[in-house]
Structure 1
């Protein structure tokens, strides 16, 4: 599917969700849940097509998300900054966000709508499939008047493998 068709279809989806749900929080949750479902399926395609090596730190994972995954699926490369001393909190700065190519502003009365919340769900779902729990949220959004679009990723913990352990 061409990127333009995907972006237009996504815009129609968000518009329909705004009609279906009164509260922005409900639309945001729906987009996150939908993205999560995409992320848990997309990770297999990503690993198969990218031939990435095993990452040994959260900073390597954040770089991989920005430099490989975003480039592969959205055609952009966000910059990555670590925002804490523990090294588990990162920001992805998107100078260009292809999901908003045809969007000039948020719908009237929808100031708390997180239009691209699908991306947070995709990242969170993909990370969970490689046994990493993470919190992923939008920190800044150009659609809300910010200078840049910024996605925050906080790596919470490594999840336990779901295999039975010997006692």
Structure 2
């Protein structure tokens, strides 16, 4: 994939580089759990620029994550919120660009969560707006599921307040 000038887009470069990163981690760590933990700890977002004065705190979280996915991966996840308490929701990706160049996981790496970096990025972004959350994969296309689904559970109920974040 390249643009009209024959150059690789930043999204494609990130996806290719990410694949090399996972391959290197698999060489360095024998256990998939160690690779998963390493990927989860890597946070790529360093600043959040956001000003959503018209939305509730929870709505801002949804918007923040959707905007971040669009900016960094070129896709917008849908949001599913079936929780009665309002502290759980899922981001659903029909297409996951991180796996564009991955056909399948090797049999010896069956428990590898290849895209676990996304969990760390999401958790880190939420922490930047003072929301503690557990983030994990509920479905994964690389493991035969129809979609990629990332579950997010707030560890404490977010207050319904307005949030303004600047750098």
CA 127–59 in structure 1, closer or farther in 2 if over 3 Å, else same: same
**Residue 32 of structure 2 is aligned to residue 24 of structure 1:** yes
Secondary structure in 1 matching 2:42: helix
Kept after mapping to 1: 8 A contact 2:52/2:60: no
Bigger share in helix: 1
Computed over aligned residues only, the root mean square deviation of the Cα atoms, in angstroms, reads: 1.7
- TM-score if structure 2 supplies the norm length? 0.83
Query: For residues 39-90 of structure 1, what are the alpha-carbon distances to aligned partners after superposition, in whole Å with 9 as ceiling and x for unaligned?
Result: 3x1xx2x31xxx4314424244224312x22112211111101121001100
Give the aligned partner of residue 58 of structure 1.
Answer: 58
Unmatched 5+ stretches in structure 1? 160-167
Q: Structure 1: how far apart are the matches of 2:157 and 2:146?
A: 33
Kept after mapping to 2: 8 A contact 1:92/1:150: yes
Give the aligned partner of residue 122 of structure 1.
Answer: 121
**Residue 100 of structure 2 is aligned to residue 101 of structure 1:** yes
Unmatched 5+ stretches in structure 2? 1-8, 159-167
How many residue pairs get matched? Answer: 149
